[in-house]
Chain A
Amino acid sequence: MFFETLPQQCPPADAIAAGDALVFRAVRANPPTIEDFHSQAMLGTIELDGRPEEFVCRASSCSVFTTLNGARKLKKLPKLRDRVFVASVQLTDDAGVIRPSAGAHMEWWIYRDFDVLSSVVEVCDA
């Protein structure tokens, strides 16, 4: 059902259907590639062995922002300097489930059948 293999209790109970939100993802390429939407877990950039399910669950989500400015300024951070574009993504209920965290940041668990790249409505410079 989900694009990535998730632990049993994942997504968490307080995650909700994506609805029709417009969200923003800082990406490396224009046009973005599917790798731009891969989670840390899928990219293998984080150690998951022996970690709690909740941690693995969060590591398997894709970060998005609800504000364009929130995503734009990320390239000023040392580890995100290569995120030089921002993709605007139109979500629908078929996109997966989301959970707001701090500020304008949301975690997004993407459904397997959702065509992420087709849902990108605009890409701009960060």
Chain B
Amino acid sequence: MHRSELQIEETLLEYDGPQVVLGRDFYGKSFVCVAVPHNDHNDLFFGSRISEDNVGQLLAGRIDLLYALTAERGRRRKFVTFHYDGSEELVRIQPFEEQPSADWLPEPKFFLRDSDDSAMAADQSRVTIGIDGRWDIRDLEEFPQALAGPYAFLHSLMRTPREHAAMVMNMFRRYPWRGGFSTVNFYRDLYKSIPAPERVIVRKMEYASPGVFELTAARDVIDALHQEIEAFSTSNSYELYQELHREMSSRELLGRTPEEAGVDDEIEEFLHDGCTRLSRSIGFTQLNRLYRLCGNSWFLASKLLLAHYRRLLELSEFYRSGKAEYRGGAPDTDPLDVAS
């Protein structure tokens, strides 16, 4: 592949030929491209560099095509033109230094996937969470946060796509793990690494007593999350959590990086044992995967498991208090009816 070429990777929409495509340049940067009118060339495309995050958002129908084409600013903005009729995968691109005219841009609100579009990813399911009692505005803010953290954590262990594996592994090992700020950033970055179609999306919300949230999410992940919540509410997990936390604290392992803590084999063995017992008590089945992602470090794995536990605890309060009830997939919508 040459520097002046673009690899067409996917046709996102066709209608009498390709209309919207995704491409990748020599440097691995993604471009979203749209067919544009031209008096002399019927196969002209206008392309714009797009971030990986926005690719996911575009595919999930969370941003429109106009925004996808114009979101990049400053030095990251790069426009190109090329000829493409669907017959070749490699096209020769020309830099386009001007502002695109209105004729070349789609109208606002052209979403690749509409909110009522049932052609969702096959592994994405609708799940229902019943709500009851009085929810104040803080609950509405906190519940999605409480759900997003452990969901992202489990998703990274259960579903990380191959192309994101290195990034996720890097994330697990990068943070100094002193707690607090680093943990918050870790969960935020983990959630951002989830492919947009597999993030938790609110499809419907009916506020009443009882009311309902209808969400879409990766079914196996959100089910596993709620199985953990169910398991730990009937086990001695809290004692095991406290025991592990107390022992780590007394050994001055908390709030320290592995280097600062001087972790040796004896500590690793003790942490392995503590993690195994805690994970069994909450039905957490991804311990070995967690250990590997942490670079075969029980020191990091135990900190993450404790952090995961605290988040489960926070989420479980919504269920234990009767404010929320996980109902799983709605029988009439699961598996998804792929109608289009």
Q: Which residues of A contact B (CB under 8 A)?
A: 26, 39-40, 45-47, 51-52, 55, 58-59, 62-63, 65-67, 69-70, 73-81, 101-105
Contacts and interface: CB of A to CB of B under 8 A. Distances in A.
A58 B105 contact: no
A78 B105 contact: yes
Contact of A63 (B12, B15, B36, B111): B15
29 contacts: A52-B87, A62-B16, A63-B14, A63-B15, A63-B16, A65-B340, A66-B340, A67-B339, A69-B114, A69-B116, A73-B110, A74-B15, A76-B108, A77-B15, A77-B34, A77-B35, A77-B65, A78-B36, A78-B46, A78-B104, A79-B19, A79-B37, A80-B15, A101-B14, A102-B11, A102-B14, A104-B340, A105-B13, A105-B14
Given A74-B15, A103-B119, A79 B36 contact: yes
B103 interface: yes
Interface of B: 11-17, 19-20, 34-37, 42-43, 46, 65, 85-87, 103-111, 114, 116-117, 119, 339-340
Contacts of A77: 13, 15, 19-20, 34-35, 65, 106, 110
Nearest to B103: A78
Most chain-A Cβ atoms within 10 A of its Cβ — which of B14, B103, B339? B14
A78 B340 contact: no
Contacts of A66: 339-340
B17 A59 contact: yes
A11 to B, nearest CB: 16
B37 A103 contact: no
Contacts of B117: 67, 69
Nearest to A43: B16
Contacts of B85: 46-47
B87 A51 contact: yes
Contacts of B14: 63, 101-102, 105
B46 to A, nearest CB: 8
A58 B14 CA distance: 11
Contacts of A78: 34-37, 46, 103-106
Nearest to A38: B16
A77 B20 CA distance: 9
Contacts of A40: 16-17
B286 to A, nearest CB: 33
A5 to B, nearest CB: 17
A105 B87 contact: no
Most chain-A Cβ atoms within 10 A of its Cβ — which of B17, B35, B104, B111? B17
A82 to B, nearest CB: 9
B19 A103 contact: no
B42 A46 contact: yes
B115 to A, nearest CB: 10
Contacts of A46: 17, 42-43, 85
B303 to A, nearest CB: 43
Contacts of A65: 15, 340
Contacts of B114: 69, 73
A67 B340 contact: yes
A45 B116 CA distance: 34
A75 B114 CA distance: 15
Given A77-B15, A102-B13, A102-B14, 17 more contacts: A45-B42, A46-B85, A47-B85, A59-B17, A63-B15, A63-B16, A66-B340, A67-B117, A74-B15, A74-B19, A75-B107, A76-B107, A77-B65, A79-B19, A79-B36, A79-B37, A80-B19
Contacts of B36: 78-79
Nearest to B110: A76
A102 B20 CA distance: 12
A23 to B, nearest CB: 11
B85 to A, nearest CB: 6
A104 B120 CA distance: 11
A51 B36 CA distance: 22
